[in-house]
Amino acid sequence: MAATPMTLLTALNTALRDVLADDPKTLVMGEDVGRLGGVFRVTEGLQKDFGEDRVMDTPLAESGIVGTAIGLALRGYRPVVEIQFDGFVFPGYDQIVTQLAKMPARSRGLIRLPIVIRIPYGGGIGAVEHHSESPEALFAHVAGLRVMSPSNPSDAYWMLRQAVQSDDPVIFFEPKRRYYDKGEVDTTASDQPPAHRARVVRPGTDLTLAAYGPMVRTCLDAAAVAAEEGRQLEVVDLRSISPVDFDTVRESVRRTGRLVVAHEAPVFFGAGAEIAAHVTEHCFYHLSAPVLRVGAYHSPYPPSRLEDEYLPGIDRVLDAVDRAFAH
């Protein structure tokens, strides 16, 4: 079967539809996911086709939503929870960190919690306060959670399916400003890499750009501009933030000798810091320049009129590239 053009949003909807059809124990739950189809319409049509017992509207209570999902998982279900916006996850953070992440280890593996928590995240849509956060580092720091973020429709479809099939709890960050990006999706392909495996999405020889989620497209655009100036940048889509596929990153850096890590979240204590530290420790003698990081500023997310100044774009990525070559 040939690949079908889809938006990232449609790919997620298709993945949810397929996992609901494949397994009667899979449930979708969250605020407005049923009749409304979700605030971004990712779950549109699912309640109509699978019923209110499989696609459930919940009260506006994130701690209760996550706690209920944990109870359902203990009874053999596979809940897929939607948190309406990134900044709304924190009332449920206690349940995620103290229960969801810890129960499997506390029970020495006897208890499994196959729960996916979907979180639209990141900026770029002109939203109001608490609607444009990038809290992925807070979850990646917690042992027991898998943290993923697709950057394109094909990965959105396959990574979400793999997340639902995982017996480990997964925090699934969806780049909301990329919801309407289009790409080819083959829902019949059987040779998909594991969701925790990084992917080289643009080969290069002079410098590695590592990114995930919404910044992958930004880095690809930056690499295209750099190519006009004679620099061949390799772009690595990390795809998974916990665990990180360090093997792929190290292999790339050993080829190129330089690394810039980019994400929308603030640079300070961000995911890029862990990657930079690891590569510096393990690839020191292959580096021709210090590992550099690109991200947002260490300040609360600004009003929407200022978000273009706050978010890292092509210019900020290329500035880091120039600095890497200055060494």
Tokens of 82: 């939607």
Band (pLDDT 50/70/90 cuts) for residue 195 is very high
Query: Mean of the pLDDT values across residues 107-131?
Result: 96
pLDDT at 265 over 90: yes
What is the distance, to the nearest Å, from the Cα of residue 225 to the centroid of all Cα atoms in its chain?
25
Strand ranges for 58-158 from DSSP E: 78-82, 116-121, 146-148
Which amino acid is it at 3? A
Task: Outline where 168-313 has alpha helix (H).
Answer: 215-228, 246-256, 271-282, 307-310
Percent of the chain with pLDDT over 90: 97
Query: Mean of the pLDDT values across residues 135-156?
Result: 98
Tokens of 244: 């990180």
Percent of the chain with pLDDT over 70: 100
What is the distance, to the nearest Å, from the Cα of residue 214 to the centroid of all Cα atoms in its chain?
8
The contacts of residue 59 (CB under 8 Å, 6+ apart) are: 31, 65
Query: Mean of the pLDDT values across residues 3-19?
Result: 97
Contact 86, 135 (CB under 8 A): yes
pLDDT at 1 over 70: no
Q: Which domains does the chain have, with CATH numbers?
A: 4-185 (3.40.50.970), 199-326 (3.40.50.920)
Band (pLDDT 50/70/90 cuts) for residue 189 is confident
pLDDT at 35 over 90: yes
Q: Please state, rounded to an integer, the average pLDDT across all residues of the chain.
A: 97
Q: Which of 179, 63, 80 is nearest to 120 (CA)?
A: 179
pLDDT at 2 over 80: no
CA-to-CA distance for 70 and 325, rounded, in angstroms?
A: 49
Whether cis (ω within 30° of 0) applies to the bond prior to 153 is: no
| Cα four-point dihedral sign 174, 180, 183, 189 | positive
The contacts of residue 23 (CB under 8 Å, 6+ apart) are: 78
**Active-site option among 130, 131, 196, 282:** 131
Q: Identify whether 131 is a catalytic site residue.
A: yes
CA-to-CA distance for 246 and 279, rounded, in angstroms?
A: 8
Query: Mean of the pLDDT values across residues 289-309?
Result: 96
pLDDT in tens, 196-253: 999 999 999 999 999 999 999 999 999 999 999 999 999 999 999 999 999 999 999 9
pLDDT at 327 over 90: no
